[in-house]
Amino acid sequence: MQDQLNLTERELRIRNYSPKTVKSYLYGLQKYFTFKKLNPETLNQDNVRNFLLYCEQSSISAQSRNLFLNAIKFYYRNVTKDVQKIDIHSAKKPQKLPVILSRNDIEKILQTLTNKKHKLLLSLAYGAGLRVSEIVTLKTQDINLEEMTIHIKQAKGQKDRISILSEKLVNDLEQLIAAKNQNAYVFESERGGKLTTRTAQKIFENALAKSGIKKNATFHSLRHSFATHLLENGVDVRYVQELLGHQNIRTTQVYTHVTNPKLKNIKSPLQ
């Protein structure tokens, strides 16, 4: 089993898959190989279906099951070179609306923060629509204070993109990065080097708890809120798609379901 995992990892790295995808695929394959027990290199489509059913019965999410299926397909197509088409469709994912924080919510959360760097971190994440992985890997060279832009490099899908910078944050950012070299992280840990994503998430969680806001929000809700508030301001959904780095506009259009002004203006018939 380990030999097959090693071969898969080699192939994934040769094809320049992201470290996160490599880790996820290997995790999924390990679960599949453990379930299959014998001869993992021999494809049996009924066995794959039974594995996915086992995962569903084990309350593994549709998103994770789809990832496992993609890993299995990659393994047989690119490692064992099996020419059979795995005729199994992805699981239908539940359509959930994102948790959105209002502008007032954002202000309350930021006001709870006494640590200037922590406040700037959350402000920048919201103001530019950054993922937690993007904010912790941001370097001083990625910020252009003259052009008021942020260059997000090798983000999800290993794609670069440009996002916007709020004028409100320029002075604080200038002070923070003034003495740093171009390759330094904007938000360094106390021991040097970048913050962990968990540390950034904890900063948000603590601020949310102190704010008294009862919404089931996460760090990613800042990004959801960025997109929603831009649409409320009348920004075209295609520009929002570009700022978020979404490959498919349908991913961005989910925010139109939570910010439709015409829908909000409809009065209930119960008077």
93 is an active site residue: no
| Gap between the Cα atoms of 55 and 63, Å rounded | 11
Question: Which of the following is catalytic: 108, 156, 180, 202?
Answer: 156
250 is an active site residue: no
User: How far is residue 126 from each of residues 109, 133, 166, 247, 251, measured CA to CA in Å?
Assistant: 11, 13, 10, 20, 18
264 is an active site residue: no
CA-CA-CA-CA torsion sign (186, 189, 190, 191): negative
15 is an active site residue: no
| Gap between the Cα atoms of 202 and 113, Å rounded | 12
Question: Which of the following is catalytic: 118, 223, 224, 229?
Answer: 223
> Which residues, including other chains, have CB under 8 Å from residue 27's CB and lie 6 or more apart?
none
Question: Which of the following is catalytic: 31, 119, 131, 229?
Answer: 131
Question: Which of the following is catalytic: 255, 257, 264, 267?
Answer: 255
Nearest CA among 234, 207, 230, 204 for reference residue 218: 204
126 is an active site residue: no
156 is an active site residue: yes
Would you give the DSSP letter of residue 190? T
Which sequence positions are flagged as catalytic?
Answer: 131, 156, 220, 223, 246, 255
